[in-house]
Amino acid sequence: MTVGDLKAAPVNLGGVRAGTNQRTLRRDAWWRNPLATVLFLTAFVVYSTWAVFQNGYYYVGTAAHRDLISPFYSPCITGSCLPGTTGSLVLHWWMISPGILILGGPLSFRLTCYYYRKAYYRSFWQSPPACGVADGHSAYSGETRFPLILQNLHRYTWFIALIFAVINVIDAIMAFRLPGDGGIGLSVGTLVLCANATLLSLYTISCHYCRHFCGGNLRRFSKHPIRYRLWKLATPLNARHMELAWVSLVVVALADLYIRLVASGVFNDPKIL
Ligand code: FES
């Protein structure tokens, strides 16, 4: 088959290639990426849902000489929070899992992320599954109607994500506290929370909206040197947004799992320094 043949075979939305019964003329394993996306995102959704509903084992505190809180439960601001986790803002009336209360913030950011949209539209919605593969649906209204029009809120969810990134950085700093075990120190749990805070911050800064926020709508960078510097900082990270989206997602789940295993007594958090 030549390139000329491919050009002569237009894609019909929701249908087959003209003159054939195939959805695509591609012979490579184009289905691998959508399949991997389905498997990874499903695994994450199942694990995180279980974790936030479990309402326990999300904090390793003074009794274990540590100050480690799961990112799924931070900030813990409800009346049902475990002792030692609660900040000054307490919603006393909220008595179910505090993880459910804060879930909406990070979830709204990831769900409306431009990269994740592409990933789950392709994999779950088959719209289209891959380049050169016919769409799984016969009609396409884009993001012009409810509920997909809500994707346009992404620019606002970025500010929410920024708050969560700062909170995760504070949690990572607090994790250097080893109460009753030398005061300040370093444990594997500290490194886990530092890795999580770093990756979450990089993912947030690499957001397409962040790059636009830094350097968009300007006629001349020369008149806005600070915004130009911020834009220069965000641009190379933006080029790695896809990788940061995946790595930060995996690490936030691993951070929760690590703290859950330590808190439930499966193993102790090893002290390094
Ligand atoms: S585009 Fe992915 S987080 Fe903004």
Q: Is the CB of 114 under 6 A from ligand 1?
A: yes
How large is the angle between the packed helices 98-112 and 154-174, nearest 10 degrees?
Answer: 130
Closest ligand 1 atom to Cα of 114: 1
Centroid of ligand 1 to alpha carbon of 215 (angstroms)? 16
Question: Atom 2, ligand 1: which residue's CA is nearest?
Answer: 113
Ligand 1 centre from 158 Cα, in Å?
8
Closest alpha carbon to 109 in 171, 167, 35, 165: 165
Quickly state the pLDDT bin for 8 (edges 50, 70, 90): very low
The answer, yes or no, to whether residue 131 has pLDDT greater than 60, is yes
What is the DSSP secondary-structure string of the chain? --HHHHHTSPPPTTS--TTSS-SB---S-TTHHHHHHHHHHHHHHHHHHHHHHH-SS-EE-GGGT--EE-GGG-S--BTTSPTTT--S--BTT--S-HHHHHHHHHHHHHHH-HHHHHHHHHHTS-SSSSTTB--SSS---TTSSTTGGGGGGHHHHHHHHHHHHHHHHHHHHHTTEETTTTEE--BHHHHHHHHHHHHHHHHHHT-HHHHHHHHTT-S-GGG-HHHHHHHHHHHHHHTTHHHHHHHHHHHHHHHHHHHHHHHTTSS---B--
Q: What is the pLDDT of residues 53-109, one digit of tens each?
A: 999 999 999 999 999 999 999 999 998 899 989 776 788 888 899 999 999 999 999
pLDDT digits (tens, 9 = 90+) for 202-232: 999 999 999 999 999 999 999 999 999 999 9
pLDDT at 19: 58
Ligand 1 atom with the shortest distance to the CA of 110? 3
Ligand 1 center from residue 115 Cα (angstroms): 6
Please identify, by atom number, the ligand 1 atom nearest to the C-alpha of residue 161.
3
Q: Is the CB of 115 under 6 A from ligand 1?
A: yes
Give me the amino acid identity at 235. Answer: T
Residues contacting 161, CB < 8 A, separation 6+ = 105, 106, 109, 204, 207
> Rounded to the nearest whole angstrom, what is the distance from the C-alpha of residue 244 to the centroid of ligand 1?
10
Residue of 121, 152, 153, 154 to test ligand 1 pocket, by largest number of atoms within 8 Å of CB: 154
- 207 CB under 6 A from ligand 1? yes
The answer, yes or no, to whether any atom of ligand 1 lies below 6 A from the CB of 209, is yes
Contact 271, 175 (CB under 8 A): no
Per-residue pLDDT tens for 22-63? 788 888 999 999 999 999 999 999 999 999 999 999 999 999
Rounded to whole angstroms, the Cα distance separating 58 from 103 reads 14
pTM, to two decimals? 0.90
Nearest ligand 1 atom to alpha carbon 203: 3
132 band by pLDDT with thresholds 50, 70 and 90: confident
Residue 116 CA: nearest ligand 1 atom is 2
Which residue has a Cα nearest atom 4 of ligand 1? 207
